[in-house]
Chains A and B, each alone.
Chain A
Amino acid sequence: MRELIDGSAAIVRGALDAGCDFFAGYPITPASPILMQLLRELPKVGGVAIQAEDEIASIGMCIGATLAGRRALTATSGPGLSLYSENIGLAIMGEVPLVIVDVQRLGPATGGATTVGQGDVQFVRWGTGGGYPVIALAPSNVQECYSLTRRAFDLAERFRCPVFLLTDKELDMTATTVEIERYERPPVRAREVLAGVARSAAGAADASVAIADPPPYRYEPADRVSPVAQYGGDTLVRFTGSTHDERALITKAPAKVAALNEHLRAKIEEHADEIELVESDLDAGARTLFVAYGVTAGALREAVDRLRHEGRAVSALIVKSLWPVPERALRTALLDVDRVVVAELNHGQYRREIERLAQGLEVRGVNRVDGELITPEELMEAAR
């Protein structure tokens, strides 16, 4: 059975299926269809969706809602992501599970509101002060807009951090025929909530004792992720954007600050293999490896088919977990090739990551920043 569907609708379904029950967003092309659909659908399932006054408020509301127990989503494009920046840092620091869809369009600035781009790849990684790791997934077709949205919600809970779903204008707004059987439904874990001190209904005469008991954060071992203490839950928890100890109390004590910041790094970077998601199509005799992600992967799949039909050996790696960089899969794919071609709709942002791993190999890019897609022919040409 088939249907005609675009990426926006697939993301909305993925979010609803993942148990998303809060959405706040601000209109922006090409992310508005997600906002419009969730404003219609979420109230039907007891959820809340709201059009905020700007992007700063959108993500702020999502952070607040998550602290009070909701599973929140927001969606924007490059200019809006710029306004999310400070609150992304807040979500990282407060360890707030949150899914952020960035439907990329051509930048910089207003750029091409209705034209495709993949220029936010490094922006999502480094888009807030401090340089702490985030997770970013990039669906390469409409089915994956559904399944990776579910995966994003799962990872947000697993790692208590903002997870980006990096799509683009073409993927989200172009209706495609999809075989319904091809939707994958990865599991989405429930939020692990901190069990606290039992509180009598009569009172909180001992409330000061119950503050942050048990502690809402744990930094030892550094990569361990604590259950979430929620507003309305057992532990009278505080959140803060300032450096804090395990009880979320503000501190500047160097040892405690170091433990916090090492935890924010280690919980993601030490688990990169758990997050890693690629589509690896390696040909034993190939000298050339193609790497692509997102909408550009579509052209790559076709180019690989056609090159092989012509009798040429070629390998392809489609990266679906952009951050952290899936180094294990990339190193494997790089083992037996002489040359790597990285195709992307920017000036070579992800190529930098490949070059880092492909020391001694020839690495070249196929890049477009004119609002058009890379074609299979351009990739086939690059293989010659």
Chain B
Amino acid sequence: MTTTANTTVPATKRDPKEFASPLKPIWCPGCGDYGVLQALYRALGSIGRPAHEIAFISGIGCSSRIPGYTTAYGFNSVHGRALPIAQGVKLANPDLLVIVAGGDGDGFSIGGGHVAHAIRRNLDLTYLVMDNQVYGLTKGQLSPTSPKGLETVTSPLGSLEEPINPLLYTLAYGAGFVAQGTPADMPGLTALIEEAIRYPGFAFVNIQSPCVTFGQEEQQIRAHKAHLRPLAKLGHDASDQLRALDVARSYGKVLHTGVLYRRPDPPPTYERLVRERQAALAPKAVDRLRLLDVFLQK
């Protein structure tokens, strides 16, 4: 199958169980990532592409374990570097559906520099960040999205730093699709992941995925259920970038869920432009085996 955008996927749905690997997750009982994984299985079932057409790339962290729990081609790589590796995979084989996942530390601390460039390059990638405002795998250190004043083992007297706002960050760099979900609303989260995959370009979903071990009380599923504010019910216009930026400003204060921004006129993806250029140059191409000779004749 040749597709240049994930929107041209077959209509046939698949059983979400096809995407569940035999490995059992080692997350803490009650971790939000279990919900994310289930939502992902369901979204992939709706998308309908078989596991062998999907590459799932992650960095390092609790949430970065997620590719191993799916049947897709997977890569649990190095801390913060999932996006460059995923872009390499997508450029090498644009027919693969490429999903990238990681935590808030992976995406907005050590790997933060790559996010802006993945956005401006606009390959057709879906980036799922499981944001729990804390470093879970390394046992409770301050994360780039931890609220100011938070006491952790690396901010014993309270953090002096403002958190990164992932929604504002990705919108400001021009991401064509920005959404936020929580496993406290499974149908909503499933729909967001599916919509992000279908968006033809770089799509970002910030998933508020509670850490039951090191997270704060007000970040747990129970609190999410009580306080989440679905954008659909607020009459939000997801085609309006300025409105989206306005909603994004309340990150950390209000738990908005849904699509903040979906660019109504998605530009061609990077890989499509690469293919067009290759095709345009193809008539001038020379046989590789003759390359040395061609150079020499110049």
Contacts and interface: CB of A to CB of B under 8 A. Distances in A.
B71 A54 contact: no
A215 interface: no
Interface residues of A, number: 60
Contacts of A180: 296
A299 interface: no
A182 interface: no
Contacts of A53: 113-114, 116-117
A53 B80 CA distance: 14
B78 A211 contact: no
B281 interface: yes
Interface string A223-261: 000000001100011111110000001100000000000
Contact of B52 (A1, A66, A72, A207): A207
B88 A238 contact: no
A65 interface: yes
Q: Is the interface of A mostly helix, strand, loop or mixed?
A: mixed
A207 B53 CA distance: 11
B72 interface: yes
Interface residues of B, number: 57
B84 A69 contact: no
A48 B84 contact: no
Contacts of B72: 236
Contacts of B81: 56-57, 60, 86-87, 90
A41 to B, nearest CB: 9
B234 interface: no
B92 A48 contact: yes
A355 interface: no
Contact of A70 (B52, B55, B92, B113): B92
Interface in A55-70: 56-58, 60-70
Contacts of A22: 88, 91-92
Given A3-B296, A231-B73, A24 B96 contact: no
Interface of B: 14-15, 18-23, 50-53, 55, 57, 60, 67-68, 71-78, 81, 83-93, 95-96, 113-114, 116-117, 274, 277-278, 281-282, 284-286, 288-289, 291-292, 295-296
9 contacts: A46-B278, A56-B84, A86-B81, A203-B14, A203-B18, A204-B50, A231-B96, A236-B52, A236-B72
